[in-house]
Chain A
Amino acid sequence: MKRTVIFTWLILGLLVVWVAAAVPPETPARAGVRLYGSGQYDAADRAWRQAVQAAPGNAELYYNLGCAAFRRHSPGEAMLYFQRAIWLNPGHTEALYNINYINSLIVDRVPQNPPGVPQIIRDVLVSWLGVDGISGLMLGAFAIICFAGWYALRVRDLPHRRTACWIFAVTLVFGVASAILLWGVVVRDSSVSEGVILARQQDVRSGPSQSHPVLFAVHEGLVVELVAQTEGWRQVVLPNGWNGWIPENQVGVVQSFDLPVSASPVDAE
C-alpha cells in the first residue's frame, strides 16, 4: 500500500515536471505584447527593453518600444525608437507612418531643404529592397558578370558570344548601380549620425558649457544631426542649418543601440 502511494506520487511528480517543461516560458517580447494590450505601457516598456538587450538589432522591438513610449506621452522617445527602427530596417512603413504622425504633433517646425534626386532614389530603393537586398543584388550581379565575362572570352561562335556580351554589359550596369547604392548606404551608416531631442524643451547654446549664451530652444521629438561630441555635450545641427550645443543626456542617438536612461523625459532648464 505504502509502495503504491509512493509510486503514484512519483508518477504525478514526473507528470508535473513534464508539463512544466513542455510549456514554454513567456519571453520578455511576448510579455511586452501582453502588457501593452492590457494598457500597462511602463511594464511593456521594461519588458521590451529587456528583450532588446538580448537582440539589439531587432527593428520590431524598437518599433514596439516607440509605440509604448508614445502611449506614455513621450513623443521624443517614441520618435527616437521609430527612427532607430527605420535605421535598422529602412523599409519599415509603419514606423515611417508613426514618424509622420509624431511630426504633426511636435512643437518645432523646422523648414528642411528638399532632398536631391539621388537621395530620393537611394531612399526609395533602400526602403524597397532593404540594405541586405541591395547587398545580395550586388553579389548576384557580380557572379553573373564573372560568368558572362568568362563565357564571352571562351565561346567562339559569334551569336553566343554576342549574347554573352549583352548579359555581361547589363549585369555590369546592375552591379555598378547596386554597388553605388550600397556605397551610399555604407557612407550614410558610417558618417551620418542623427539624434532626437528627448527633453520637453531644451536650450541650445553656442558652446559646450552652461556659461555659453543660449542661441535658441528646441523641443521634444525634433530630429537633429549630430556632428561633434565633447565631455557631456553634443553639437547638433538643425535641418535649416542652425547649430549649437546641448547636454548629451537630452538627445538620443539614432544610430546606436543605447537606450535612454529615463523612460519618461525630464524637463530641462
Chain B
Amino acid sequence: MNLEHPHCWRTAGVTGVLVGLVVMSAMGALARGEGGKVRATASADRIGLENTVTLEITIEGSDAAGAEIVEKPSAPDFRLVGGPNVSTQFRFVNGSASFTKVITFSFIPLKTGHLELPSAKIRLNGQVSKTEPIPVEVVAGSVSPSSPGARSPFGTLDPFDSDAEAGTPADPGDDLLLRLENPDHAVYVGQPVPLDLVLYYRVRIGGADLEKEGKFEGFWVETVDLDPRDPSRVGRREHDGRAYNTQVLRRWVLFPLRPGRFDVDPWILRVLVETPTRSFFGMTRRQVVLRRTNSITINVRDFPSAGRPAVFNGLCGRYDIQAGLDKSAVATGEAATVRLTVQGEGNLRSIPEQRLMKIPGCKIYAPKVQDNIRLEGGTLRGSRTWEFVVIPLESGVFELTVPELAYFEPGSQSFRSVSPPAMRLNATGDRVAGTGAGNTGGVNMPIEMKGRDIRHIHTGPELERTPPGRLYRRPWFLAIFGVLVLVTLGAVAVDERRRYLQRDRRSWARSRAAVQARRDLRACSALGRKGLSADLFAGVYRLLQNYLQARFGINSLELTGARLRQVLSAHQVGETATADLLDIMQQCERYRYAPAVAETFLPEELLARLERLLRVMEGDRP
C-alpha cells in the first residue's frame, strides 16, 4: 500500500474505524461469555530419539486468561527442556468472540519405545483439572513428524497470509539436525579424539542458542577457538542420502584418560526456524525448535602389555627429545644451562617432568619450564622446554644424561623410546664449597650483567644552586681563628693576673697602697696650690696614715714613734726615711690645728718631701 497517495489515506481511515467497531463488539460478547475448557495435544505421535516433542495445553473460554499451571508435567522417560511458554489470543469469528490461552512445554525422549507425555495440572475458575497423558512412539535416530501437528488457534496476524489457516508451522524434522561428529570411535588412552558439534539444516535459520551443554566425562578436553570468519566452518554435506547446509558450532579435541566405553553426553540446541509465507508483505513465520545431538560412544582401549617399556607412564602420541648445553667448559662455581626440549604431537601437557641424572660434584637446580603448545590438525602440537642450571663444584668432566622418554605411537600401535645423547661439561678450577650435588629444589639463579653504561644525570635542586666556594678560602674563616686566639689569650692573661694578685695579698695591698698614695698625693697637690691650710696638713696626715696601714699593716691606734721604727726597720726602710716620715707626721699633726703658726712653711716643699719619702719607701732611690 502506497500511503503517499490520498486515496490510500482514506482507505486506512475507514479500516481503522471498522477495526474499532469490531473490538468494541468483541468486548461486549466477552462480557456475555461462558466458562473455558482445557485440551492437551502433542506436536507429534512418533518421534526419533534425536527429536523433541512439544506438549501444548490449550485453554479456551471467557475465563481462560486466569488459567495457571499448578504443577509442571514430569515423567521419567522425558526430560523437560523448555517451557512453559504462554500465549493468549482473542478471536472474533462470525460475530462470536472467544479467548484462548496456550501453554507449551518441550521434551526430549530419554529412551526408545511407546512412551507417554506426562499430564499437567491447570487451575481454572478456582478448580484444578488434569490433562490426559499423550502416547508417543520414540524410535532411534531422527524421524520426520508423522502428523502436521496441532493447528494453531492463532494462525498469523497477517490478514493477507493465505497460510494463516495452516496454524502453527510444522517441526522441520529431518531438515534440521544437530550432530556430534568424530572420525575415530576406537582410540587408545591419551590418543587425541577430534570432535565437532555440527548443525545440519535444510531450512532457513534465524538464530541458535545452546539449551544444554553436554559433559565429556573420562576425557581431558581441549577446546579449539573457532574463528567466526573461517569459511571452512560452513559448507554442504550429505547425511542419509540428503544434502544439507552445515555449520560447525563447536570443536574439541578429547584426550581419553582411562580405558572403557564412554557415551558422550547429548548437547541440546534451541534453533529459530524461519518459514517464508505467501504473505502479500513477504512476512515469515518464526518457530523455535529444539535439537538434540546424536548419541555417540567412544571405545577407549588400554595400551598393549606386550613390549611395554619399564619407564612408560602412559604418554601417547609421537615425540622427539633434544638436549643441549650453552657452554661446554666452565670454571668451578660457574653456571651452565642445559636446555631440554620435547617436541611432537599428542597431549604435550601430560608429559612428565623431565630431570637430569644426579652427578656427584655437580649442583643441579630445579628447572624452569616453558611451553609452546598449539591445537592444530585435531591434536596438540608444539614443544615443552626445561632449562636446568648446572654448577660444577669441583674440576673434572661431567657427563650429563637425561632419562629415557617412552611413549605409545597409535599409528604403528607400538611403543617407542627416545633419549638425547649425553652432554659433557668440562669444569676447571678449585673446588667450590656447596651444599652437595643433586636437585636442591632451590631457584637461586646467578645473575649476570648484560651491559654497562654511565650513571644518569642529576635532576635535583642542587643544579640551580650556586656553590659558595671553598670554606677555607673565605675571609671569615681565618677571622674566626684570629678571634679565637685573641679571646683565649686575653682570658688566660686576666686569669693569670688575678691569680697572681690573689697569691700574695700583701703584695697586692702594697700595690694598692702605692696607687692610693699617688692618688691622694695628687689631691694634696691641688690643695697646696691654694696655699697653706688645715686641709692640706690633714690631707697629708691622712695620706700617710692610710699608706702605713695599707703598706705595712700599721693600725692608726698603734701609730707611735717606737712602733713605726720597729715596723719600718723590719721592712728594711732606712733610718733617714723613718725620721723624715715621723717629722712630716709631727708637723702635720701640729699645724693642722694651727696653720697660721706655719707661716714660713711652704706647701711645695712639704709635698716634695712627701713624694720623695713615698719613693724611698716603695724601694726607689730618691
State the A residues within 8 Å of B (CB): 27, 29-30, 32-33, 36, 51, 54-55, 57-61, 63-64, 66-68, 70, 78, 88, 94, 97-98, 101-102, 104, 131-132, 135-136, 139, 142-143, 146-147, 149-150, 153-154, 182, 186, 189
Residues on the A chain within 8 Å of B495, using CB: 150, 153-154
Kindly state the separation between the CA atoms of A104 and B453 in the bound complex, as whole angstroms.
11
Kindly state the separation between the CA atoms of A125 and B115 in the bound complex, as whole angstroms.
103
Kindly state the separation between the CA atoms of A186 and B470 in the bound complex, as whole angstroms.
10
Contact indicator B463/A135 (Cβ below 8 Å): no
Closest to B460 in A: A60
Kindly state the separation between the CA atoms of A189 and B467 in the bound complex, as whole angstroms.
17
Instruction: Tell me whether A101 and B492 are in contact in the complex, defined as CB-CB below 8 angstroms, given that A55-B466, A88-B467 are known contacts.
Output: no
Residues on the B chain within 8 Å of A30, using CB: 463-464
Contact indicator B480/A139 (Cβ below 8 Å): yes
Top 5 nearest A-B pairs (CB, nearest first) are: A135-B471, A29-B463, A57-B467, A146-B488, A55-B466
Contact indicator B466/A58 (Cβ below 8 Å): yes
Contact indicator A139/B457 (Cβ below 8 Å): no
Kindly state the separation between the CA atoms of A131 and B473 in the bound complex, as whole angstroms.
11
Report the minimum CB–CB distance from B444 to chain A (whole Å). 28
Closest to A85 in B: B458
Residue from A29, A51, A88, A131 in contact with B472 in the complex, judged by beta carbons closer than 8 Å: A131
Not counting A58-B462, A68-B457, A101-B453, a sample of 4 additional A-B residue pairs whose C-beta atoms are within 8 angstroms of each other reads A78-B454, A88-B467, A135-B471, A150-B488
Closest to A64 in B: B457
Contact indicator B457/A153 (Cβ below 8 Å): no
- List 30 A–B pairs whose Cβ atoms lie within 8 Å, in order of A's numbering: A33-B457, A33-B463, A51-B463, A51-B464, A54-B466, A55-B467, A57-B467, A57-B469, A58-B463, A58-B467, A60-B465, A63-B458, A64-B457, A67-B455, A94-B455, A101-B452, A101-B454, A102-B454, A104-B452, A131-B471, A131-B472, A135-B470, A135-B471, A139-B480, A146-B485, A146-B488, A149-B492, A150-B491, A153-B495, A186-B472
Kindly state the separation between the CA atoms of A55 and B457 in the bound complex, as whole angstroms.
17
Contact indicator A139/B481 (Cβ below 8 Å): yes
Contact indicator B463/A61 (Cβ below 8 Å): yes
Contact indicator B481/A142 (Cβ below 8 Å): yes
Chain A proximity mask over B298-314: 1 for CB below 8 Å, otherwise 0: 00000000000000000
Residue from A60, A97, A135 in contact with B458 in the complex, judged by beta carbons closer than 8 Å: A60
Contact indicator A55/B488 (Cβ below 8 Å): no
Residues on the B chain within 8 Å of A88, using CB: 467
Report the minimum CB–CB distance from A9 to chain B (whole Å). 37
Residue from A33, A70, A131, A182 in contact with B459 in the complex, judged by beta carbons closer than 8 Å: A33
Does chain A have a CB within 8 A of B570?
Answer: no
Kindly state the separation between the CA atoms of A177 and B496 in the bound complex, as whole angstroms.
31
Residues on the B chain within 8 Å of A54, using CB: 466
Residue from A51, A139, A146 in contact with B487 in the complex, judged by beta carbons closer than 8 Å: A146
Kindly state the separation between the CA atoms of A227 and B455 in the bound complex, as whole angstroms.
32
Report the minimum CB–CB distance from A101 to chain B (whole Å). 6
Residue from B452, B455, B484 in contact with A146 in the complex, judged by beta carbons closer than 8 Å: B484
Residues on the B chain within 8 Å of A102, using CB: 454
Report the minimum CB–CB distance from A153 to chain B (whole Å). 6
The B98-138 residues at the A interface (CB cut-off 8 A) are none
Closest to A186 in B: B472
Contact indicator B459/A143 (Cβ below 8 Å): no
Residue from A51, A68, A132 in contact with B471 in the complex, judged by beta carbons closer than 8 Å: A132
State the B residues within 8 Å of A (CB): 452-460, 462-467, 469-472, 477, 480-481, 484-485, 487-488, 491-492, 495-496
Kindly state the separation between the CA atoms of A131 and B459 in the bound complex, as whole angstroms.
24
Contact indicator B458/A149 (Cβ below 8 Å): no
Kindly state the separation between the CA atoms of A54 and B471 in the bound complex, as whole angstroms.
20
Kindly state the separation between the CA atoms of A30 and B459 in the bound complex, as whole angstroms.
8
Contact indicator A139/B477 (Cβ below 8 Å): yes
Closest to B454 in A: A98
Residues on the B chain within 8 Å of A101, using CB: 452-454
Instruction: Tell me whether A143 and B470 are in contact in the complex, defined as CB-CB below 8 angstroms, given that A36-B457, A97-B455, A98-B454 are known contacts.
Output: no
Kindly state the separation between the CA atoms of A60 and B457 in the bound complex, as whole angstroms.
8
Contact indicator B465/A67 (Cβ below 8 Å): no
Kindly state the separation between the CA atoms of A182 and B496 in the bound complex, as whole angstroms.
34
Kindly state the separation between the CA atoms of A74 and B496 in the bound complex, as whole angstroms.
68
Contact indicator B492/A150 (Cβ below 8 Å): yes
Kindly state the separation between the CA atoms of A137 and B332 in the bound complex, as whole angstroms.
50
Kindly state the separation between the CA atoms of A54 and B491 in the bound complex, as whole angstroms.
46
Residue from B453, B464, B485 in contact with A29 in the complex, judged by beta carbons closer than 8 Å: B464
Contact indicator A135/B472 (Cβ below 8 Å): yes
Residues on the A chain within 8 Å of B470, using CB: 131-132, 135, 189
Kindly state the separation between the CA atoms of A118 and B459 in the bound complex, as whole angstroms.
35
Report the minimum CB–CB distance from A167 to chain B (whole Å). 14
Kindly state the separation between the CA atoms of A67 and B455 in the bound complex, as whole angstroms.
8
Residues on the A chain within 8 Å of B485, using CB: 146
Contact indicator B463/A60 (Cβ below 8 Å): yes
Residues on the B chain within 8 Å of A150, using CB: 488, 491-492, 495
Residues on the A chain within 8 Å of B463, using CB: 29-30, 32-33, 51, 58, 60-61, 64
Contact indicator B472/A182 (Cβ below 8 Å): yes
Residues on the A chain within 8 Å of B484, using CB: 142-143, 146
Kindly state the separation between the CA atoms of A180 and B464 in the bound complex, as whole angstroms.
33
Contact indicator A58/B472 (Cβ below 8 Å): no
Report the minimum CB–CB distance from B496 to chain A (whole Å). 8
Residues on the A chain within 8 Å of B491, using CB: 150, 154
Kindly state the separation between the CA atoms of A132 and B458 in the bound complex, as whole angstroms.
21
Contact indicator B471/A67 (Cβ below 8 Å): no
Residues on the B chain within 8 Å of A51, using CB: 463-464
Kindly state the separation between the CA atoms of A36 and B459 in the bound complex, as whole angstroms.
10
Contact indicator B462/A135 (Cβ below 8 Å): no
Residues on the B chain within 8 Å of A27, using CB: 464
Residues on the B chain within 8 Å of A33, using CB: 457, 459, 463
Residue from A57, A67, A135 in contact with B454 in the complex, judged by beta carbons closer than 8 Å: A67
Kindly state the separation between the CA atoms of A154 and B452 in the bound complex, as whole angstroms.
63
Residues on the B chain within 8 Å of A32, using CB: 463
Kindly state the separation between the CA atoms of A78 and B471 in the bound complex, as whole angstroms.
28
Kindly state the separation between the CA atoms of A103 and B459 in the bound complex, as whole angstroms.
25
Residues on the B chain within 8 Å of A143, using CB: 484
Kindly state the separation between the CA atoms of A154 and B488 in the bound complex, as whole angstroms.
11
Closest to B467 in A: A57
Report the minimum CB–CB distance from A84 to chain B (whole Å). 13
Kindly state the separation between the CA atoms of A29 and B462 in the bound complex, as whole angstroms.
10
Residues on the B chain within 8 Å of A149, using CB: 488, 492
Kindly state the separation between the CA atoms of A191 and B366 in the bound complex, as whole angstroms.
61
Residues on the A chain within 8 Å of B492, using CB: 149-150, 153-154
Kindly state the separation between the CA atoms of A27 and B466 in the bound complex, as whole angstroms.
13
Kindly state the separation between the CA atoms of A43 and B471 in the bound complex, as whole angstroms.
34
Instruction: Tell me whether A70 and B464 are in contact in the complex, defined as CB-CB below 8 angstroms, given that A132-B471, A135-B470, A146-B487 are known contacts.
Output: no
Instruction: Tell me whether A63 and B457 are in contact in the complex, defined as CB-CB below 8 angstroms, given that A146-B485, A150-B488 are known contacts.
Output: yes
